[in-house]
């Protein structure tokens, strides 16, 4: 696929240049907001337009299942960079219905890990449910992430934190926390 990407990229860059769209813009979030969401492919090119955000507007973070595992997690670190270092004032945790991380179970994952050559001792060394962050309910998972951000000593208390749930097909959002 890399060859196709590079071929596309050459055309893409040239077309943007010709249209005068290649001028530098600020790396700061114009809308003073961050979004933390799931890596689900259906949200690509859906979430930002569904929320009215374009290029340059927001900082966006993604992981499998929009799960925050603890205060030392890279999610907290990145949101601290956005809120403490860059002064962003709003954080939106955006989960979505029909999330793949709700459909996994620990036994299947162990089998898949073994099949893919992950050493048995590495599999045994982790609590699969905790390590992968398997979730039971998408809305509860969003509320949990919002609570962890609100309780985190590393996120300033004047930052507004919201929890939303998105339909991955229509883009409709519901405020849940």
Chain positions contacting Zn ion, by CB under 5 A: 38, 40, 99
CB nearer to Zn ion: pick between 99 and 177: 99
Q: Which is nearer to Zn ion, 32 or 97 (CB)?
A: 97
Q: Which residues pair with 63 in a beta bridge?
A: 38
Cβ 4 to Zn ion shortest distance, Å:
26
- Comparison of 106 and 123: residue with beta carbon closer to Zn ion: 106
Containing 91, the helix (H) or strand (E) segment is: strand 90-96
Least distance (Å) between residue 150 CB and Zn ion = 22
**Judged by CB, which is closer to Zn ion: 29, or 43?**
43
Radius of gyration of the chain (CA): 19
Question: Which residue, among 34, 43, 38, 104, has the nearest Cα to 66 in the 3D structure?
Answer: 38
Tell the smallest beta-carbon distance from residue 39 to Zn ion (Å). Answer: 7
CA 1 to chain centre: 24
Closest contact distance (angstroms) between CB of 65 and Zn ion is: 5
Rounded CA-CA distance 82/35 in Å is: 10
Shorter beta-carbon distance to Zn ion: residue 40 or 48: 40
Structure tokens at 126: 């982790």
Q: Is 163 helix (H, G, I), strand (E, B) or coil?
A: strand
Q: How far apart are CA 73 and CA 80, in angstroms?
A: 11
The C-alpha atoms of residue 35 and residue 163 are separated, in whole angstroms, by: 10
- As measured in angstroms, the least distance from the Cβ of 95 to Zn ion is 7
């Amino acid at each position: 696929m890399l060859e196709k990407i590079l071929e596309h990229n050459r055309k893409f860059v040239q077309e943007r240049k010709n249209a005068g769209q290649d001028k530098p813009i600020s790396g700061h979030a114009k809308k003073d907001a961050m979004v933390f969401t799931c890596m689900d492919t259906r949200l690509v090119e859906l979430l930002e337009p569904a929320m009215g955000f374009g290029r340059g507007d927001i900082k966006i973070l993604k992981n499998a299942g929009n799960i925050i595992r603890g205060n030392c997690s890279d999610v907290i670190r990145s949101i601290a960079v956005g809120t403490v270092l860059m002064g962003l004032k709003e954080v939106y945790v955006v989960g979505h219905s029909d999330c793949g991380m709700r459909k996994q179970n620990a036994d299947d994952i162990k089998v898949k890990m073994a099949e893919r050559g992950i050493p048995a001792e590495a599999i045994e060394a982790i609590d699969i449910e905790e390590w992968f962050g398997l979730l039971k309910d998408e809305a509860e998972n969003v509320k949990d992430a919002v609570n962890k951000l609100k309780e985190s000593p590393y996120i300033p208390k004047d930052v507004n934190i919201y929890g939303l749930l998105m339909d991955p097909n229509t883009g409709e959002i519901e405020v849940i926390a």
